[in-house]
Homo-oligomer: A and B are copies of this chain.
Amino acid sequence: MGDRPLRADARRNREKVVRAAREAFAASGYGVPLDEIAALAGVGPGTVYRHFPSKEALFEAVVAARIRDLADDARRRADGADPGEAFFGFLGRLAGEAAAKRDMPDAIEVAGALRQDIFEALDLLLRHAQRAGAVRGDITAPDLIVLLKGLILSVQDTPQGPAGEAQRERLLAVLADGLRSPGATG
């Protein structure tokens, strides 16, 4: 495609929009009005639409990097020496991230290539941990995804705002113990 290089001000504005979107989505989830993002970026709504065809496209652009990071991390851990620790370590990271970023639940729903990517990475991580006997054998990757989504939502939708660190620790412990193979040591 003929992507001519952007004019300097256009490039600057695009960057400002992405940065504002990252902040706004993380703070309030996908639901933030686009006008608010534009205002935070210090541009008009029209400018946002010059750079992204829709609000959803902007969200995907912002979230794609995070998802890719997550998947990469999962793959990296999966290659490590201790599959069990790799698995539960990843769970911990996910819980921590979810507590800080309010857009994680929506991020999981983002369709496209990312979906396949994260699925395969989780599948790998899970299988390794199961083969090593660290995780119960009866659950599947879709099960895991659903459980993680539940964990993410739990961690941030507490009646008094996001869960404190101590509570998050306990919730994570419950899920982790439930996923462990019966008889395996923690």
In this complex, which of A139, A167, A178 has the most chain B Cβ atoms within 10 angstroms of its Cβ? A178
Residues of B within 8 A of A147 (CB): 154, 171, 174
Select which of B142, B153, B170, B175 is within 8 A of A174 by beta carbon: B175
Give A153-186 interface residues, CB cut-off 8 Å to B. Answer: 153-154, 157-159, 163, 167, 170-171, 173-179, 182
Residues 129-140 of A, flagged 1 when their CB comes within 8 A of B and 0 if not, give: 000000010111
A146 touches B139 (CB 8 A): no
Query: In the complex, what distance in Å separates the CA atom of A182 from the CA atom of B1?
Result: 60
A106 to chain B, nearest CB (A): 12
Tallying the copies of this chain within the complex gives: 2
A74 to chain B, nearest CB (A): 18
Give A107-152 interface residues, CB cut-off 8 Å to B. Answer: 136, 138-140, 142-143, 145-147, 149-151
Tell me the count of chain A residues lying within 8 A, CB to CB, of chain B. Answer: 29
Residues of B within 8 A of A151 (CB): 150
The interface of chain A, by Cβ under 8 A from chain B, is: 136, 138-140, 142-143, 145-147, 149-151, 153-154, 157-159, 163, 167, 170-171, 173-179, 182
CB<8 Å pairs between A and B, sample of 24: A136-B174, A136-B177, A140-B170, A142-B158, A142-B159, A143-B167, A143-B171, A143-B174, A146-B157, A146-B163, A146-B171, A147-B154, A147-B174, A149-B154, A149-B157, A150-B151, A150-B153, A173-B178, A174-B178, A174-B179, A175-B175, A175-B178, A176-B178, A178-B179
